[in-house]
Amino acid sequence: MSFAGKVWRLLVGIKDGMVLLFMLLFFSLLFAALSSRPSPGQIREGALLIELDGYVVEESSRIDPLQALLTQTAPVGEYQARDLVRALDAAADDNRIKAVVFDLTRFLGGGQVHLQAIGEAIDRVRAADKPVLTYAVGYGDDGMLLAAHASEIWVDPMGGAVIAGPGGSNLYYGELLQKLGVNARVYRVGTYKSAVEPYTRSSMSDESRENYAALYGALWEEWQANVKKVRPQADIALVTGDPAGWVAASKGDLAKAARAAGLVDRLGSWEEFGSRVAELAGEDPWNGEPGNFAATELAPWLAGTTPGTPGKPIGVITIAGEIVDGDAGPGTAGGTRIADLLDEALDKDLAALVVRVDSPGGSTFASEEIRRAILRHKATGIPIAVSMSNLAASGGYWVASAGDRIFAQPETITGSIGVFAIVPTFEGTAAKLGINADGYQTGPLSGQPDLVAGFPPEVDAILQATTQNIYDRFLGIVAKSRGFDRARADTLAQGRVWDGGSARQLGLVDQFGGIEDALAWAADKAGIKDGNWHAVYLGEGRNTYDSLIRQMLASDAEQERAPAGLFELSAQRQTALSTRIAGDLGRISARRGVQAYCLECPVQSAGKADAPTRDSAPTGLVAQLIDLLR
């Protein structure tokens, strides 16, 4: 009995110890979560420090905590463009902020529309007699477009600046697939619909090259004009016309070459840069180490400068990233998720609706699902404005066609009105491996689609006819929306991609302007006076554990100042290349069906994994064909 009592007390002690341990772990995590949240109490007088260690995006992705913790990899930082603009505008009017500092050391880029909007906000800060300074080890095209608006541009003496201009190479797998015996069956409509070319060709077609030349030529002209306007001393012609001679003149010193070409103002380390900021904004009273200065970081600044909600609400629905079937997102435009958000907002008595699009397109089914949900708001009689961001192409334009008025910027990429589908079959691969398919069919569609034996002519004909039907449907939507006859709509379509300036001249876009212009137009059409409305972003709300997960997974190496010279940028390109190949192969192997997707459109956060789609198992030929097409 004595022995049993001792065992019992031991078990009770173990149980109490485990309970205590779990309680300590729970409260530690709770404290970490609460302390990781930005607090307005962290705002202090000095500089506003904006450390852009990632991409500028339209809508930040939500972190999958399980995946992040299992891979032990900190997600790439994403900063919403509208948050940065709001932070800068608030800093311009707040006496606590003496200067604004951008740390662009680990900046990965953003679309031209976003960067131009942030640049204009920087101009407003400077107009309020507050200096704006940027620091980086290396500036690329996107970093330079942003930094050009600053009062002082600093670069590390070990770094530099290189301007490349838009463009580059695509990967073409036609010859590889042929060697593997894979038959990439392509069904498309659109002379310029080049999204399928990587799977059927070994080089770019003349039509695609023509389209790329016009699009990238226009974007390059806009980039140069925007930089020269705010930084006339920058000798862009020298830097891009004879880059080797330009660097050689400074004996290979990229930092000195950048200063000689007027791309940067001063060379210095982070400590020297910090001392300069301290002269303008004050020294850090809590940390006297070299390079420190009094500063408020972005997250607490945004938390302490929440905009008011005067007057009537105007809804804003964000369609960002690839358009896919299902509930994916934010950061990916899941058709069902966005349609549900719009339907839930029908009960919110919105005065108007603004559709913000930053998407290269994707699923035609999901695009139509979103368009129908927008039309349900239109049926209530409220005005609908569309605000195009960097991209509103293909499926993105399909969605935009539901608006009463379309706003875009000259740098916006739009159009790409065309559709395609790719279905790989493996009869060639099977033959190489000695695998033969045989059987008995009661009709030409028996057992179809057969990915091993291949498709009979009847299946090819059905799939091409269905693709043509969806293109005709797309064409009809555009023609009705824009007041075109079908012949003119077809001329502007054919998968051709347009810059915003060309799209406006052709009537695909109504006027130039950003989201604020779209909101103002919607308010005016709703009969609301200035200042008597506020924007409500439907579905907005970031998980509270995002910042906690980033803090837990951010390694010491990631917190250091990573160099960004040409060799380091080459390493980054290698990572991007592997991501691109995985994405290309995923596009041909996944069950995506008929797509309205723009290959020419550069997607900033290219490292994101493909979003999940519906995964119902099809049964029977018709169901399988519908699944393929969807």
For 198-219, how does the pLDDT look when each residue is reduced to its tens digit (9 = 90+)?
888 899 888 888 888 999 999 9
Question: Strands 77-80 and 323-324: what pairing?
Answer: unpaired
pLDDT of residue 15: 73
Model confidence at 607: pLDDT above 50? no
Catalytic pick among 60, 98, 130, 193: 193
Q: Which of 17-21, 26-30, 119-123, 489-493 has the lowest mean pLDDT?
A: 26-30
Amino acid making up residue 248 = A
Phi, psi of 554 (to 5 degrees): -70, 115
Q: What is the CA radius of gyration of the chain?
A: 27
Q: Which of 88-97, 99-108, 367-376, 577-586 has the lowest mean pLDDT?
A: 577-586
Thinking of the domain 312-530, which architecture would CATH place it in? Alpha-Beta Complex (3.90)
Give CATH 3.90.226.10 domain extents, the chain.
Answer: 43-163+231-303, 312-530
pLDDT of residue 9: 74
State pLDDT tens for residues 292-340.
899 999 999 998 888 888 889 999 999 999 999 999 889 899 999 999 9
Model confidence at 272: pLDDT above 80? yes
Model confidence at 67: pLDDT above 80? no
Q: Which of 366-375, 486-495, 554-563 has the lowest mean pLDDT?
A: 554-563
Query: Which tokens sit at 3?
Result: 């022995």
The average pLDDT across 484-489 equals 92
Question: Strands 405-408 and 361-363: what pairing?
Answer: unpaired
What pLDDT band is residue 440 in, cutting at 50, 70 and 90? confident
- Please spell the DSSP secondary structure of 78-134, one letter per residue: EEEHHHHHHHHHHHHT-TTEEEEEEE-TT--B--HHHHHHHHHHHHHHHHTT--EEE
What pLDDT band is residue 72 in, cutting at 50, 70 and 90? low
pLDDT of residue 621: 46
What pLDDT band is residue 439 in, cutting at 50, 70 and 90? confident
pLDDT of residue 11: 73
Question: Strands 352-359 and 312-320: what pairing?
Answer: parallel
pLDDT of residue 513: 96
State pLDDT tens for residues 167-190.
888 888 889 888 888 988 888 887
Q: Which of 14-28, 48-62, 537-551 has the lowest mean pLDDT?
A: 537-551
The average pLDDT across 551-574 equals 51
Rounded CA separation 367/399 (Å): 6
Q: Is 193 annotated in the active site?
A: yes
Q: Which of 56-60, 144-148, 194-198, 409-413 has the lowest mean pLDDT?
A: 194-198
Model confidence at 375: pLDDT above 50? yes
Phi, psi of 129 (to 5 degrees): 65, 35
Rounded CA separation 355/319 (Å): 7
What pLDDT band is residue 29 in, cutting at 50, 70 and 90? low
Model confidence at 625: pLDDT above 70? no
Catalytic pick among 394, 481, 502, 547: 394
In CATH terms, the fold of domain 43-163+231-303 is 2-enoyl-CoA Hydratase; Chain A, domain 1 (3.90.226)
Provide CB contacts within 8 A for 371, sequence distance 6+. 398, 399, 401, 402, 477
Q: Is 394 annotated in the active site?
A: yes
pLDDT of residue 619: 44
What pLDDT band is residue 558 in, cutting at 50, 70 and 90? very low
Q: What is the mean pLDDT of the chain?
A: 84
Model confidence at 622: pLDDT above 50? no
Looking at per-residue confidence, does 400 or 285 come out higher?
Answer: 400
Model confidence at 499: pLDDT above 90? yes
